[in-house]
Amino acid sequence: MSAQPQSRLTPEQYLEIERAAEFRHEYYEGQMYAMSGGTHQHALVIANTLAALWIQLRDKPCSVSPTELRVRISARHYTYPDIVVVCGEPKYVDNQLDTLINPTLLIEVLSPSTEGYDRGLKARQYRTIESLGEYAFVTPSEARVEIFRRQPSGDWLLSESAGLDAHCRFDSIGCSVALADIYAKVTFPPEEPTPPGSTSLP
């Protein structure tokens, strides 16, 4: 989300403008924010994850959607997660069927420009969605997936998977995905060399 707010709008005004807009915008506290574009690597991780989940969910009462599906987190916050899964009957803001209100799982593929927002404000807002069982962060620059899972107590528990030999488990939708599938055809940036005389932490 870029830091260029527009005039203060009601949610209804935002939806009217957004549905006619050429480019996507998120909405928070009466303001619209233009969404920045992503890299090829970012898009590839989204596509790989989406494909892996679709294969496992095709015979289940769940559907998986890419970035185009808008989600209403609250009356003051509308966003476009990178991947949205809903199980059971989808519920929408209105009869346009383009703004979901009951996601089961939300996945964000991180990028340097939006990681702070994703991990901060957006994650706090995600935890207020009653239907949400899990949300996840996928790091495109290394094989790492973080899943935050709602507990019966209402607390959120972090489960982290790292390395191409690992799997990540999405309990809310009954799926397990190999990180090798998520990162298929992804080229990781080379590691920074360790300066002579320094000691690397394990």
Residue 114: count other Cβ atoms within 10 Å of its Cβ: 17
Query: Given this model, what pLDDT does residue 36 score?
Result: 77
CA atoms within a 13 Å half-sphere pointing along the CA-CB vector of 109:
25
Q: Alpha-carbon distance 30 to 34, whole Å?
A: 14
Among the residues of the chain, which ranges form H helices? 11-20, 40-57, 115-117, 123-126, 179-182
**CATH classification code of 38-182:** 3.90.1570.10
Choice among 27-31, 36-40, 71-75, 80-84 with the minimum mean pLDDT: 36-40
For residue range 60-116, list pLDDT tens digits in order: 999 999 988 999 999 999 999 999 999 999 999 999 999 999 999 999 999 988 899
Q: Where are the domains of the chain?
A: 38-182
Question: What DSSP designation does 122 have?
Answer: I
Query: Given this model, what pLDDT does residue 12 score?
Result: 95
Where does residue 92 fall: left (phi above 0), alpha (psi -120 to 50 degrees), or beta otherwise? beta
**Residue reference for tokens 């303001």:** 31
For residue range 164-193, list pLDDT tens digits in order: 999 999 999 999 999 999 999 999 887 766
**Which pTM value belongs to this model?**
0.89
Query: Given this model, what pLDDT does residue 3 score?
Result: 44
Q: Alpha-carbon distance 194 to 190, whole Å?
A: 12
Helix (H, G, I), strand (E, B) or coil at 141: coil
Q: Provide the CA 100 distance to its chain's centre, in angstroms.
A: 14
Strand order in the sheet with 83-87: 62-65, 83-87, 105-109, 134-139, 144-150, 156-162
- What's the whole-number average pLDDT of the chain? 91
